[in-house]
Amino acid sequence: MKIKRFFAALAACAVAAVSLTAVSFTGVSAAETQLTYTGPSTDAFSVNEDGKTLRLNIYNDLLEAPQAPVLDINNKGSFSGKISVSFIISGLNGAVNKNDDGTDGDAYKAELLGAVGTSQYWGSSAGGRNTVTNTPVTIAGNGMYTVDFNIAQASDTITCLVLSTNINAYNYAASGKPADTGISIKINRITVNDSATGGVQPNNNGNNLLGQNTTGGVLAGQTSGGGNVDSTNTGDKGIAVAVIGLAVCGVAAVIARKKK
């Protein structure tokens, strides 16, 4: 009978450990947080400082009148690793700019400009103003693309974030106005990818909650109604689960002895 009680206790430990592991992995280990995009605002689709190449402002309160600030994401939260922006572009004719003589110019490209804390990138020509390097993505035509903004040091604020392209608006409209080009740039998804946080992000009230992101979006692998979250990159959390499991085993063993 003692042997049966012993194995019953082990079985109880196994069940408890598995249950605790499942709970611990849910919402704790996700390395990606999705940011809610509320745009585009009226002045989001505009041109760069050169007055001719297209860009989409995602968060930019530095715009001068008559343009209104573009605040299409919550710029407060926990930002580290990198910010990734997936976008869909349509209305393009080919994949290169045209020179004045009709010959092919530069291939279309897009990159993220702006500042996240001390991490700043304003384009390859900005030189010493840049504290990080972001790699442009080549736009081969209409379709979906993803660009990244690298964050060297964690920050709680996005000061500016702009999806910038080298697409010449005058190749599509004599006015040079973005609205006249027939080109559309739509944000598909914005995420913060940071394996160091383990899925623990401050909520909008600043409280640390497991599995809750910063702006009301959903975690990777999780639908808005719940569901499964990526359970990779658990790190030391797996050890913690094992310790808790052993503690539960100890309780089960004591219960088994009391029933003898």
In the chain, domain spans: 2-26+235-258, 32-210
- The model carries a pTM of 0.65
Q: Mean pLDDT, 10 residues at a time, over the chain (260 residues)?
A: 43 40 36 94 96 98 92 96 98 96 97 98 92 97 98 97 98 98 98 57 28 29 30 33 28 33
Fold annotation for 32-210: Jelly Rolls (2.60.120)
Which pLDDT does position 23 carry in this prediction?
34
What are the DSSP calls for the chain, one per residue? -HHHHHHHHHHHHHHHHHHHHHHHHTTTS--EEEEPP----TTSEEE-TTSSEEEEEEEES-PPTTSPPEE-S--EEEEEEEEEEEEEEE--SSSEEE-TTS-EEEEPEEEEEEEETTEEE--GGGGGG-SS----EE--SSEEEEEEEEEEEEEEEEEEEEEEEEEEGGGT-TT--GGGS--EEEEEEEEEE-GGGTTEEE-TTS-EEET--SSS--BTT-BTTB--------TTHHHHHHHHHHHHHHHHHHHHHHT-
Which pLDDT does position 195 carry in this prediction?
54
Which pLDDT does position 236 carry in this prediction?
36
Report helix angle 237-258 to 2-25, nearest 10.
Answer: 150
169 contacts: CB under 8 Å, gap ≥ 6: 47, 52, 53, 54, 176, 177, 178, 180, 181, 183
Which pLDDT does position 201 carry in this prediction?
28
Which token pair is 124? Answer: 């390859």
Which pLDDT does position 60 carry in this prediction?
97
Which pLDDT does position 165 carry in this prediction?
98
